[in-house]
């Protein structure tokens, strides 16, 4: 920095202030971070932004306090993949990343900036929560912490909002991840909880570890609050950069098309799909044959694995895929899979990402357990989200699509732009076995000779299968097209390109009453 | 000791291992029939099959223990 006169020494004074700010909290907290494989907030930002470059607002917040550099949060503007983004990043070396009044004001301001500029907003969270000593200045007021969540909700679907969770996200702070489009969590360090294990023991008498109650793996596999589980902070940052490449800056523009690649080398779809409707297979192998190699971004991979949701590219075009996974729970839809599907559809529809549904679904789960858990209202969420989505929707019936499973996977009644059947497709209210039992159970039981009974059942199965033959459905214009499996990738690529100009007016109303 | 639990309600269709067998993580050990589908149940960790708690034809509810694995 240029030297200034001894009387004022203004540059020297500035330099000294900046040095304390860039140093963050006490060295012992930096040491602690290193021990838990955590990076200092400014090192995180260097990795996150293109070229490690960013500009910062409110850098001097609480500079007079001496021990609160930047008031424990860095708010910055920089570029990711060449596109502008706004970021707030907690500094856990400063009072454990807790929020004081200026911390909160800085977060609110960077959100307002992201909204005005219509660019993505990233939250790098590592915070113990509210600074109780400052509560009147940061908790209940108009520009208190509540405003952060209010802003998140208003900005939802306007610009992408991403949470990278590096440490705790405690109490009210746990709503930052909850209101984001996606939450990336570092295993072993990231956690979310409303009340800490210590509080749980005091208030309700439960003894539990942090990992069990609010750890990254638990949230990514059981609660579904987390979306992507990673091993290191570096991986979290590279995944966030990779994720953003699928998205436009805001809802008003479309995702960028890039040069496509070929699909991964592998078996043909004909070889992958078993002809026996009831036999399991790995849907991931099929997806690999449809998309550009290496382009899949799995969302909630460890949660409700019976439904696969992820972003991908076909010939460079961004799409969102929802696919039943016959290998996990037979591909049957449960409450959790319905929630997973609904959130993913909302995400894609908000940012003009076309949807591909790959159906191989026996239906929604039945039985006491799921009925008591409200599978009907969970299923309604999924169907409502799919039904309201106005982006291009292609429904492909891979094998079976029974009952409400056909509806959830964008069946013909829900205005997909096309409903394609593979020759292995079977569309019906229920499968042949269940249907014959339902309709003819009295007659079947009345036949005493076991051989005769079997013969009768087999005959009825045959009749049923003829009734739901896929060419009959095509002839009745129920499905729009039958495609040979090995041609599916090409057909999808062509059709997504044709549907690019799809533009539906929104219905005249404020909003639907969304089932929850 | 690890309990391997049923991922969903259904009927035990096949038991692919016997007590005393060594299994590896990811190996299918039991098949459940549910919703007319065959559902492979895979061992989450490797180990020795200590006890099988079900037989072919048993109805199991979600979260019921199917077998226990030891070291």
The answer to pTM > 0.80 is: yes
Inter-chain touch B9–A330, beta carbons under 8 Å = no
Q: Which of A330, A334, A369 sits opposite B37 (nearest CB)?
A: A330
Question: Which token pair is A264?
Answer: 């991964």
Give the pLDDT of residue A66. 86
Give the pLDDT of residue B33. 92
**Residue found by looking up tokens 């454990």 in the block:** A96
CA distances, A10 to each of A13, A16, A59, A117, A233 (Å)? 5, 10, 17, 33, 38
Question: Which token pair is A28?
Answer: 């012992």
- Ordered by start, the domain boundaries in chain A are 14-245, 269-425+479-499, 430-468
Strands A182-186 and A191-193: unpaired
CB neighbour list of residue A455: distance below 8 Å, 6 or more residues apart: none
Q: Which of A279, A327, A330 sits opposite B35 (nearest CB)?
A: A330
Q: Number of CB pairs < 8 Å for A and B? A: 42
Question: Which token pair is A237?
Answer: 């940052």
Inter-chain touch B37–A366, beta carbons under 8 Å = no
Whether the CB of B13 is below 8 Å from some CB of chain A: the reply is no
Residue B8: list chain A partners with CB under 8 A.
329-330, 332, 334, 365
E strand spans, A353-460: 355-361, 393-402, 418-421, 426-428
Residue A284 main-chain phi, psi, to 5 deg: -60, -35
Packing angle of the helix pair A375-388, A335-350 (nearest 10 deg): 20
C-alpha dihedral sign at A324, A326, A328, A330: positive
The length of chain B is 71
Question: Which token pair is A268?
Answer: 């043909």
Q: How far is B56 from chain A (nearest CA, A)?
A: 18
Q: What is the pLDDT of residues A378-430, one digit of tens each?
A: 999 999 999 999 999 999 999 999 999 999 999 999 999 999 999 999 999 98
Give the pLDDT of residue B41. 92
How many other C-beta atoms lie within 10 A of the C-beta of residue A208? 12
A359 alpha-carbon distance from chain centroid: 20
> What distance in Å separates the CA atoms of residue A417 and residue A423, rounded to the nearest whole number?
19
Q: What is the pLDDT of residues B3-56, one digit of tens each?
A: 999 999 999 999 999 999 999 999 999 999 998 888 999 998 999 999 999 999
Question: Which token pair is A211?
Answer: 């990992």
3-state secondary structure A39-68: CCHHHHHHHHCHHHCEEEECCCCCHHHCCC
Task: Look up residue A220 and give its DSSP letter.
Answer: I
Inter-chain touch A330–B39, beta carbons under 8 Å = yes
> What distance in Å separates the CA atoms of residue B42 and residue A325, rounded to the nearest whole number?
15
Check whether domain A269-425+479-499 has CATH 3.40.980.10, yes or no? no
Give which of B37, B41, B61 to mutate to test A binding, by max A Cβ within 10 Å: B37
Give the pLDDT of residue A422. 98
B59 alpha-carbon distance from chain centroid: 13
Q: What is the dihedral of CA A185, A186, A187, A193, to 10 degrees?
A: -50
**Residue found by looking up tokens 């709503």 in the block:** A175
Q: Which of B37, B40, B61 sits opposite A332 (nearest CB)?
A: B37
Fold observed for domain B2-70: OB fold (Dihydrolipoamide Acetyltransferase, E2P) (2.40.50)
Residue B34: list chain A partners with CB under 8 A.
329-330, 332
Give the pLDDT of residue A174. 81
pLDDT in tens, chain A (516 residues): 888 887 889 999 999 999 999 999 999 999 999 999 999 999 999 999 999 999 999 999 999 998 999 999 999 999 999 999 999 999 999 999 999 999 999 999 999 999 999 999 999 999 998 998 889 999 999 999 999 999 999 999 999 999 999 999 987 778 999 999 999 999 999 999 998 899 999 999 999 999 999 999 999 999 999 999 999 999 999 999 999 999 999 999 999 999 999 999 999 999 999 988 889 999 999 999 999 999 999 999 999 999 999 999 999 999 999 999 999 999 999 999 999 999 999 999 999 999 999 999 999 999 999 999 999 999 999 999 999 999 999 999 999 999 999 999 999 999 999 999 999 999 999 888 889 988 999 999 999 999 999 999 999 999 999 999 999 999 999 999 999 999 999 999 999 999 999 999 888 999 999 999
> What distance in Å separates the CA atoms of residue A117 and residue A244, rounded to the nearest whole number?
17
Q: Which helix H or strand E contains B66, and what residues bound it? A: strand B65-70
Inter-chain touch B35–A332, beta carbons under 8 Å = yes
Give the pLDDT of residue A107. 97
How many other C-beta atoms lie within 10 A of the C-beta of residue A66? 8
Please give the full DSSP string across A349-380, using - where no structure is assigned.
HHTT--EEEEEEE--B--SHHHHHTTHHHHHH
Q: Output the CA angle B39-B41-B42, nearest 5 degrees.
A: 140
Contact in structure between A393 and A354 (CB atoms under 8 Å): yes
> What distance in Å separates the CA atoms of residue A481 and residue A415, rounded to the nearest whole number?
15
Give which of B35, B38, B40, B60 to mutate to test A binding, by max A Cβ within 10 Å: B35
Whether the CB of B39 is below 8 Å from some CB of chain A: the reply is yes
CB neighbour list of residue A142: distance below 8 Å, 6 or more residues apart: none
Give the pLDDT of residue A118. 98
> What distance in Å separates the CA atoms of residue A165 and residue A3, rounded to the nearest whole number?
41
Inter-chain touch B38–A433, beta carbons under 8 Å = no
A-contacting residues in B 15-34 (Cβ below 8 Å): 34
- Ordered by start, the domain boundaries in chain B are 2-70
Q: Which of B34, B61, B62 sits opposite A330 (nearest CB)?
A: B34
A355: left (phi over 0), alpha (psi -120 to 50) or beta: beta
CB neighbour list of residue B28: distance below 8 Å, 6 or more residues apart: B16, B40, B41, B42
Contact in structure between A172 and A129 (CB atoms under 8 Å): yes
Fold observed for domain A14-245: 2-enoyl-CoA Hydratase; Chain A, domain 1 (3.90.226)
Residue A146 main-chain phi, psi, to 5 deg: -55, -35
Nearest CA-CA partner of A297 in A124, A162, A144: A162
Inter-chain touch A330–B62, beta carbons under 8 Å = no
C-alpha dihedral sign at A64, A67, A73, A75: positive
Residue A375: list chain B partners with CB under 8 A.
none
- Beta bridge partners, A55, equal A77
């Amino acid at each position: 920095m240029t030297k200034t006169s001894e009387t004022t020494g203004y540059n020297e004074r500035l330099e000294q202030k900046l040095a304390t700010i860039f140093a963050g909290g006490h060295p012992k907290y930096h040491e602690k971070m290193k021990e838990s494989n955590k990076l200092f907030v400014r090192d995180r930002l260097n990795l996150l932004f293109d070229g490690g470059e960013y500009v910062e607002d409110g850098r001097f917040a609480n500079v007079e306090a001496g021990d609160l550099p930047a008031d424990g949060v860095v708010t910055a503007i920089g570029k990711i993949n060449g596109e502008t983004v706004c970021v707030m990043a907690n500094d856990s070396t400063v009072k454990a990343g807790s929020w004081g009044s200026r911390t909160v004001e800085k977060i609110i301001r960077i959100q307002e900036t992201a909204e005005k500029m219509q660019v993505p907003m990233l939250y790098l969270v590592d915070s113990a929560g509210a600074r109780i000593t400052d509560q009147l200045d940061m908790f209940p007021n108009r520009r208190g912490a509540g405003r952060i969540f209010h802003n998140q909700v208003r900005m939802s679907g306007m610009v992408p909002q991403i949470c990278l969770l590096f440490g705790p996200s405690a109490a009210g702070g746990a709503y930052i991840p909850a209101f984001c489009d996606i939450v990336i969590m570092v295993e072993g360090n990231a956690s979310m909880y409303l009340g800490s294990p210590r509080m749980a023991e005091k208030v309700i008498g439960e003894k539990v570890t942090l990992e069990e109650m609010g750890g990254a793996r638990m949230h990514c596999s059981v609660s579904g609050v987390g979306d992507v589980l990673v091993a290191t902070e570096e991986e979290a940052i590279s995944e966030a950069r990779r994720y953003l490449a699928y998205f436009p800056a805001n809802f008003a523009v479309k995702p960028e098309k890039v040069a496509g690649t070929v699909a991964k080398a592998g078996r043909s779809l004909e070889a992958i799909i078993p002809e026996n409707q009831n036999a399991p297979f790995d849907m991931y192998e099929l997806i690999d044959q449809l998309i550009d190699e290496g382009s899949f971004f799995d969302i909630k991979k460890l949660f409700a694995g019976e439904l696969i949701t992820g972003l991908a590219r076909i010939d460079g075009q961004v799409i969102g895929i929802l696919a039943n996974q016959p290998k996990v729970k037979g591909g049957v839809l449960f409450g959790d899979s319905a929630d997973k599907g609904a959130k993913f559809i909302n995400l894609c529809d908000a940012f003009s990402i076309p949807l591909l549904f790959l159906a191989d679904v026996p239906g929604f789960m039945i039985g006491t357990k799921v009925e008591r858990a409200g599978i009907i209202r969970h299923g309604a969420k999924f169907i409502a989200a799919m039904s309201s989505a106005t982006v291009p929707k292609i429904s492909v019936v891979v094998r079976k699509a029974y009952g409400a499973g056909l509806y959830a996977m964008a069946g013909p009644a829900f205005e997909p732009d096309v409903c394609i059947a593979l020759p292995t497709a079977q569309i019906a209210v229920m499968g042949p076995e269940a249907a014959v039992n339902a309709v003819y159970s009295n007659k079947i039981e009345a036949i005493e000779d076991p051989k005769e009974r079997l013969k009768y059942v087999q005959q009825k199965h045959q009749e049923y299968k003829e009734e739901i033959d896929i060419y009959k459905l095509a002839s009745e214009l129920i499905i729009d097209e039958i495609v040979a499996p090995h041609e599916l990738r090409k057909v999808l690529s062509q059709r997504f390109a044709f549907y690019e100009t799809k533009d539906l007016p929104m219905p005249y109303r404020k909003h639907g009453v969304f089932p929850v | 000791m690890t309990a391997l639990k049923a991922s969903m309600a259904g009927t035990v269709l096949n038991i692919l291992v016997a007590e005393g067998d060594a299994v590896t993580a990811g190996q299918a050990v039991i098949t459940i029939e549910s919703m007319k589908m065959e559902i492979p149940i895979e061992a989450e960790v490797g180990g020795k099959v200590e006890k099988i708690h079900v037989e072919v034809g048993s109805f199991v509810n979600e979260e019921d223990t199917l077998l226990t694995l030891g070291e």
